């Protein structure tokens, strides 16, 4: 089920279960996972993309193994908030994934997540080679952390 907002997504989740964050790229899918209390996002893996059925199979197997109960998918809006071809590709991926899993899916604005991830890796003095290997999973962590923070704020509301 694709939720129409983070508020709806939060209400569909069982308590004390992890959720996953995804940074969907043309060549890779960065994956992050929350803790059970949904307070901290941790980058965990990068899946090299081949074709949808293989990618989805690997992704869903990973999420099942890790006990994820929801998916936050980064939505690559343009800086002015408009949509473009990358948003359409992300939404198509979500629609196809929705057919294969009962996990709730929601979108989260991912603008500047890769920039923030790159900055964090540079500050940690990560080599260029290592940055290239982990940038997508770190960006997925930023996407997921933003959604987790918003859900925590909503819960206080």
Per-residue pLDDT of the chain (157 residues; tens, 9 = 90+): 999 899 999 999 998 999 999 999 889 999 999 999 999 999 999 999 999 999 999 999 999 999 999 999 999 877 787 888 888 999 999 999 999 999 999 999 886 666 666 777 667 767 777 666 666 787 899 899 999 999 998 888 6
Quote the distance between the C-alpha of residue 70 and its chain's center.
10
What's the DSSP call for residue 20?
E
d(CA 149, CA 155): 10
- CATH C-level class of 6-156: alpha beta
Following DSSP, what letter does each residue of 67-126 receive, concatenated? TEEEEEEEE---TTS---HHHHHHHHHHHHHHTT--S-EEEEE-TTHHHHHHHHHHHTT-
Q: What is the pTM of this model?
A: 0.85
């Amino acid at each position: 089920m694709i939720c129409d907002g983070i508020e709806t997504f939060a209400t569909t989740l069982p308590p004390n279960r992890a959720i996953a964050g995804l940074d969907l790229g043309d060549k890779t899918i960065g994956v992050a996972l929350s803790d059970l209390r949904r307070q901290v996002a941790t980058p965990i893996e990068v899946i090299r993309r081949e074709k949808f059925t293989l990618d989805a199979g690997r992704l869903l197997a990973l999420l099942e193994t890790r006990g994820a109960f929801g998916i936050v998918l980064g939505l690559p809006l343009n800086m002015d908030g408009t949509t473009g071809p990358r948003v359409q590709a992300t939404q198509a991926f979500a629609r196809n994934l929705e057919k294969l899993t009962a996990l709730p899916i929601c979108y989260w604005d991912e603008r500047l997540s890769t920039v923030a991830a790159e900055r964090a890796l540079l500050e940690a003095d990560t080599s260029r080679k290592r940055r290239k290997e982990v940038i997508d999973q770190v960006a997925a962590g930023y996407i997921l952390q933003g959604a987790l923070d918003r859900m925590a704020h909503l819960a206080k509301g």
